[in-house]
Amino acid sequence: MLVNSRIRGIKPSYIRDILSAANAEGVLSLAGGLPPQEGFPLEYLRSSFARLGDSPELFQYGPTGGYAPLLDFLTSLYEIKPEGDLLIGNGSQQCLDLIARAFVEPGQKIAMEVPAYVGAMQVFALAGADIQTVDSHPDGPDLNQLEVLFSAGETSIFYAVPDFHNPTGRCWSVEIRREVAKLCVQHGVTLIEDAPYRDLRFAGDESPMVSSQCLESSLVLRSFSKTAMPGMRLGCVSGPAPWIEQLRLVKQSADLHTAVPMQAVLLDLLRWEGYPGHLQRLKKQYRARYDTLAKALEKGGQGRLNFDPVSGGMFIWATLQNVDAEFLARQCLARHVAVVPGSAFYLAGQHDVDALRLNFTCVDSDGLERAAQTICQLLSD
């Protein structure tokens, strides 16, 4: 049986592949984007799990758009306007995939910053999109490049991760947010604001969401994988009701609906009075781990490795001077330290920068120090 031509264009995720190696005993993995599982709020959820045994209705077929009480809760939490709507999917990854399936035709032009989130590149490649890229700067995307692209009039979607971008960890400035929203409205471009890391700010002040400045022409993706637990596979997408209706139609075909027991457990977690405290602890831990990794890299990198500080999220984007990042990543793995080379975050054949994406959330401070030492030792060799 012949494989669909668009699949042949997808580059498998180096990251998910490296995760198998990274999961091996004794490997310090800074490769994934995993929350530390020792912090999962399972103790609180015991009563929630027990209640599943008394709730057969949660195990019956459910509505395509999501479990009604969770939909109500999120609609209120995110202040969804009457002309808006919300759909629950299997992680924000599925929500993004539904968007591409509903709104992208083969050959259609969509834009994103590079380096880019690998999962988004895969989704749009699978939809047959013509992916246009703009450079990422410390305070956001290159506005000149964006305006040139949008002015050509063929870009229909701009996919963006304005808060603690994966892989760069960058957070857009307030000005850039305003300008991007303005450009989107002006040129009729739909903004997809992907916000999985937004609630993981551990320093500085929150900026308004870009979509809040162009509500009628944007879809917002939120994930519960980073703040709650990824194995449950829950995320949501909100935006204008007629667009969400189209996503519901695709979701009906894709898998009928998302697992209801998982949605009920998430709702219990989000309603928990201790949940804000859980988030605070998580962010405090992330900040401590980030500080440890940053200090160790500053100390050992000695100009061969540079990075901009981050105020949240899960990643440091470390650029290298005259070093082949892929070679370095392989050398690291041979010394039981897993990292992802920057090339993974570019389109195939695209010019990339020599860089490493370093996750600081999943390994403890001692491990992060040892990993940084290994990386810096290899750099100085």
Which residues from 103-162 bind a second copy, rule CB under 8 A? 103-106, 119, 122-123, 126, 156-157
Of 76-84, 96-104, 132-140, 166-174, the window that binds a second copy (rule: CB under 8 A) is 96-104
Q: Is 30 a residue that touches a second copy (CB under 8 A)?
A: no
Q: Is 190 a residue that touches a second copy (CB under 8 A)?
A: yes
Crossing angle for the helix pair 42-52 and 260-271, nearest 10 degrees? Answer: 130
Q: Is 361 a residue that touches a second copy (CB under 8 A)?
A: no
Residues 46-75 that bind a second copy (CB under 8 A): 46, 49-50, 52-64
Residue choice 45, 146, 210, 338 for contact with a second copy (CB under 8 A): 45
User: How far is the C-alpha of 224 from the C-alpha of 39, rounded, in Å?
Assistant: 14
Which of residues 253 and 321 has its CB atom nearest to a second copy in the complex? 253
- Residue 223: phi, psi to the nearest 5? -120, 145
For residues 159 and 192, is the Cβ–Cβ distance under 8 A?
yes
Q: Is 270 a residue that touches a second copy (CB under 8 A)?
A: no
Q: Is 97 a residue that touches a second copy (CB under 8 A)?
A: yes
Which of residues 96 and 293 has its CB atom nearest to a second copy in the complex? 96
DSSP secondary structure letter of residue 35: P
Q: How far is the CB of 327 from a second copy (least distance, A)?
A: 26
Nearest to 200 by CA among 33, 367, 28, 368: 33
For residues 122 and 128, is the Cβ–Cβ distance under 8 A?
no
Q: How far is the CB of 93 from a second copy (least distance, A)?
A: 5
Residue choice 21, 42, 68, 203 for contact with a second copy (CB under 8 A): 42
User: How far is the C-alpha of 165 from the C-alpha of 162, rounded, in Å?
Assistant: 6
Q: How far is the CB of 99 from a second copy (least distance, A)?
A: 9
Nearest to 93 by CA among 213, 21, 209, 192: 192
Q: How far is the CB of 24 from a second copy (least distance, A)?
A: 14
Q: How far is the CB of 215 from a second copy (least distance, A)?
A: 14
Residue choice 66, 91, 300, 341 for contact with a second copy (CB under 8 A): 91
Q: How far is the CB of 46 from a second copy (least distance, A)?
A: 4
User: How far is the C-alpha of 137 from the C-alpha of 296, rounded, in Å?
Assistant: 24
Count of positions on this chain that bind a second copy (CB under 8 A): 78
**What are the percentages of helix, strand and coil residues in the chain, rounded to 5?**
50, 15, 35
For residues 320 and 305, is the Cβ–Cβ distance under 8 A?
yes
Residues 10-29 that bind a second copy (CB under 8 A): 10, 12-13, 16, 19-20
- The torsion angle over the Cα atoms of residues 333, 322, 137 and 165, rounded to 10 degrees, is 0
Q: Residue 127: which residues within 8 A CB-CB, separation 6 or more?
A: 6, 100, 101, 104, 106, 108
Which of residues 28 and 294 has its CB atom nearest to a second copy in the complex? 28
Q: Is 90 a residue that touches a second copy (CB under 8 A)?
A: yes
For every residue of 174-187, DSSP letters joined together read HHHHHHHHHHHHHH
Q: How far is the CB of 373 from a second copy (least distance, A)?
A: 26
Residues 202-261 that bind a second copy (CB under 8 A): 217, 225, 229-233, 243, 246, 249-250, 252-261
Q: How far is the CB of 61 from a second copy (least distance, A)?
A: 5
Q: Is 307 a residue that touches a second copy (CB under 8 A)?
A: no
DSSP secondary structure letter of residue 194: E
Nearest to 88 by CA among 103, 102, 74, 104: 74
Number of neighbouring beta carbons within 10 Å of residue 287: 17
Q: How far is the CB of 60 from a second copy (least distance, A)?
A: 5
Residue choice 5, 26, 273, 381 for contact with a second copy (CB under 8 A): 5
